[in-house]
Amino acid sequence: MDREARINELIAQMTLEEKVSQLSYTSAAIPRLGIPEYNWWNECLHGVARAGIATVFPQAIALAATFDEGLVEEVADAISDEARAKYNEAVKQGNRGQYWGLTFWTPNINIFRDPRWGRGQETYGEDPYLTSRIGLALMRGLQGTDPENLKVAACAKHYAVHSGPEKLRHTFDAICTKKDLFETYLPAFKVLVDAGVESVMGAYNRTLGEPCCGSYYLLKDILRGRWGFAGHVVSDCWAIRDFHENHKITKTPEESAALALNAGCDLNCGCTYPQLTVSFKKGLVTEEAINTALARVLRTRLKLGMFDPPEQSRWDSLGRETINCEKHQQLALKAAEKSIVLLKNDKGLLPLDSSAKKIAVLGPAAANAHTLFGNYYGVSSRFVTILEGMGEKVRDKFGINLEYRQGCLMYSDNNRSNAEFGQANVSDIFIVVMGLDGAIEGEEGDAIASDSNGDRTCIELPFWQLKFLQKVRTAAQTAGKPLILVLTGGSPIAIPEDIADAVIFAWYPGELGGRAVADIIFGDTVPSGKLPITFPASTEQLPPYEDYSMKGRTYRYMTQKPLYPFGFGLSYTSFRFDSITLSAPSIKAGATVKAAVALSNTGKRDADEVVQIYVTKDDKGADDPLSSLRAFRRVFIPAGKSVTVEFELSAAAFETINAEGDSVLLPGSYTVIASDAAPVAVAVEKGAPAPVSAKIILP
């Protein structure tokens, strides 16, 4: 019996109550039909979360900083191996509970439009194209290569126009123009839908007046209508209850359930869909609408093989030995090393050489394992903090003194900071480790040290940490010694430009993050990460948080000088962009053009460089992007060698989104730019190689 016939037969044998029981995240068993109970809620943002031991990879924003689609897909493949292994073991034990299933509510492909958002760490940054490519790579690694036989089911969330404030998410109406909607907020969703993502999760907030999990415009018109999405839609958890309790769009649970179901939300994470039996009796929903939603969720379960004997699964052989295995641990280390961004390196201070015999490691993040996790994390068999990573590195280097002082606390603004750190005053090098962790930024309810529901009210380094850092800086300068600043966190941190001689941004680097940081500091690894989000110079540069207009936000629309631009990241070698050559002087709709970029490694270290291709319309409108990322590739270049990298740009790379949200190709001159950071309105000199560019005409 084929799948669709099997679905129809199952539905035909169910009572109305049984049908409704399958539309909540805690789906009931129907033994007479061979349907086991199932809990749909599972997470694997950067490793299987909340289900025992698992490999903890770098946080999502760090994975984006690798600019490496192949690596991200490899990470996701490892995650889905562990997910299948856990599911196989759980089924053998009769465990059908939460966090042991195969439907994973990731990736988060919202746009990180404002660096104050605590959940921005879950995203792939501020750019729609980068978000699309990294999100797609993760989706492929999770779901596998056979769309009819899924390894696990991925979920694109939170649809749509969702990026804080956390404290308002249950009541907020995100208002944006159709231009911003289709130019910034929706492109990544469309890419994943076109590629076959199995599910889409609606957001908590309203968008343009409608609650996202009950939006006819978002779900019926765009998602199902224009894009032809065939998978299932799931609500965010208890978002449908918000319809009547917080948004005040409906008056009763049965009205909320009916609104969501009729709009196209198939599965409820929450407590409202059991009321669909009442909705049906009141004539608010039809049995046909219930059947449609039921068919979609059953189809997902059948694609995952949940109703078949376990031995029929191609992944049945995956067992406990797969989970947090040595191969996956090394992959986590590799991902961390590729994600770390070197922001500053005055006078080639890094990597450290053998002359540094007395090293002082200071600061509240150095020995803080929470700086490795990020949110939505699992538990590894071992976490290596930055202090431990430094200790491992110098363990076999006889004659090196490594001294540690916490110096100040991570959270409180009333604590004392102590720069009188004894023998550390006579160190050869000061390494200060500070920044953020999950207690300061994160999701509503999880960030226990945040006074703004997980968001930040300002993007500057917490002032008590800055106060301590300034004391250390003064002591170091007085002694004529350099200072290295290592920052942890999932969002931009604004710092004074002269506060350190070298600056490393480590993100939340996963279980072996401390080892990766030490590898960078001592030069065993050449840094190659790039910023997936602009680092503004101060909070004052940001538009109001609740304003969803893109004006003044991200490298595409920001007209002020940032601290560090999108795409930026230094290396221990030097690169030169030699030229860019286009295969044709013009391009028409439906055509493509090849861009060949020649670049050289002019330094002394073999290293990776990320070639970034931006397009800008020479005669752009006031609301158009200053430039837009249209392609990128990480390439390895041996020292002293040159390579040529080819990109194929379709006519869509030159599109303009008009006020109605339509994609149009406007005649005129365009500039194609190859660089290793985004072109910005105000130039930022940070040691990056000069970009190269070429002109092309749309007739």
Are 156 and 203 within 8 A, CB to CB? Answer: no
How far is it, in rounded angstroms, from Cα 332 to Cα 592? 37
Mind listing the pLDDT tens digit for each residue in 541-564? 999 999 999 999 999 999 999 999
Bond prior to 160 in cis (omega within 30° of 0): yes
Tens-digit pLDDT profile for residues 618-672:
999 999 999 999 999 999 999 999 999 999 999 999 999 999 999 999 999 999 9
Residue 501 is among the residues annotated as catalytic for this protein: no
Which one from 441, 455, 501, 609 is the annotated catalytic residue? 441
Task: Write down the pTM of the prediction.
Answer: 0.97
Q: What's residue 395's pLDDT? A: 85
In 316-379, DSSP assigns E strands to: 341-345, 358-362
Mean pLDDT of 362-388: 97
Determine contact, residues 520/340, Cβ cutoff 8 Å.
yes
Mean of pLDDT over the chain? 96
Residue 82 annotated in active site? no
Asked whether the predicted pLDDT for residue 91 surpasses 90, the reply is yes
Which 8-state DSSP code applies to residue 348?
Answer: G
Cα→Cα distances 94→27, 34, 87, 320, 581, Å: 15, 15, 10, 16, 61
Give the residue-averaged pLDDT of 331-358.
Answer: 95
- Range 389-397 average pLDDT: 88
Confidence of residue 445 (pLDDT cuts 50, 70, 90): confident
Mean pLDDT of 441-452: 92
pLDDT 10s digits, 463-519: 999 999 999 999 999 999 999 999 999 999 999 999 999 999 999 999 999 999 999
CA pair distance 165, 454, nearest whole angstrom: 9
pLDDT at 166: 96
Share of the chain above pLDDT 70, in %: 98
Tell me what pLDDT residue 432 has. 98
pLDDT at residue number 683? 72
Report whether 120 contacts 533 (CB < 8 A): yes
* pLDDT number for residue 346: 97
Predicted confidence (pLDDT) at residue 425 exceeds the cutoff of 70? no
- Note the pLDDT tens digit of each residue in 19-64: 999 999 999 999 999 999 999 999 999 999 999 999 999 999 999 9
pLDDT for residue 236: 98
Segment 76-103 mean pLDDT? 96
Read off the DSSP letter of residue 490.
S
Biggest CA–CA distance in the chain, Å, is 81
Neighbours of 321 (CB within 10 A): 8
Rounded Cα gap, residues 26 and 41, in angstroms: 8
**Which of residues 215 and 417 earns the better pLDDT score?**
215
- 585: pLDDT strictly greater than 60: yes
Q: Region 563-577: what's the mean pLDDT?
A: 97
Can you say whether residue 659 is alpha, beta or left, with left for phi > 0 and alpha for psi between -120 and 50 degrees?
alpha
Instruction: Decide: 644 and 656 in contact? Cβ < 8 Å.
Output: no
In the predicted structure, residue 71 carries a pLDDT above the cut 70: yes
Tell whether the model's pLDDT for residue 353 goes beyond 90. no
423 pLDDT above the threshold of 60 = no
Of 61-65, 83-87, 332-336, 417-421, minimum mean pLDDT range: 417-421
pLDDT recorded at residue 416: 62
pLDDT given at position 415: 59
Does the pLDDT at position 135 exceed 60?
A: yes
Q: What mean pLDDT comes out for the span 388-398? A: 87
Q: Read off the pLDDT of residues 177-210 as tens digits, 9 standing for 90 and up.
A: 999 999 999 999 999 999 999 999 999 999 999 9
d(Cα 9, Cα 465) in Å, to the nearest integer?
A: 63
Q: Among candidates 369, 295, 273, which has minimal Cα distance to 26? A: 273
The pLDDT value given to residue 399:
75
**What are 663's strand-pairing partners?**
657
Determine the length of the chain.
Answer: 699
Closest CA to 62 of 134, 156, 164: 134
Q: Which 3 state secondary structure label does DSSP give 31?
A: helix
Does residue 607 have a pLDDT over 90? yes
Q: Are 430 and 484 in contact (CB under 8 A)?
A: yes
- What domains can you pick out in the chain, each with its CATH number? 3-41+99-322 (3.20.20.300), 327-533 (3.40.50.1700), 575-698 (2.60.40.10)
What pLDDT does residue 64 have? 99
Report the pLDDT averaged over residues 116-130: 98
Q: Which of 236, 444, 460, 511 is catalytic?
A: 236
Bridge partners, 632 (sequence order):
612
Mean pLDDT of 566-594: 97
Q: Please check the confidence at residue 74 and state whether its pLDDT lies above 70.
A: yes
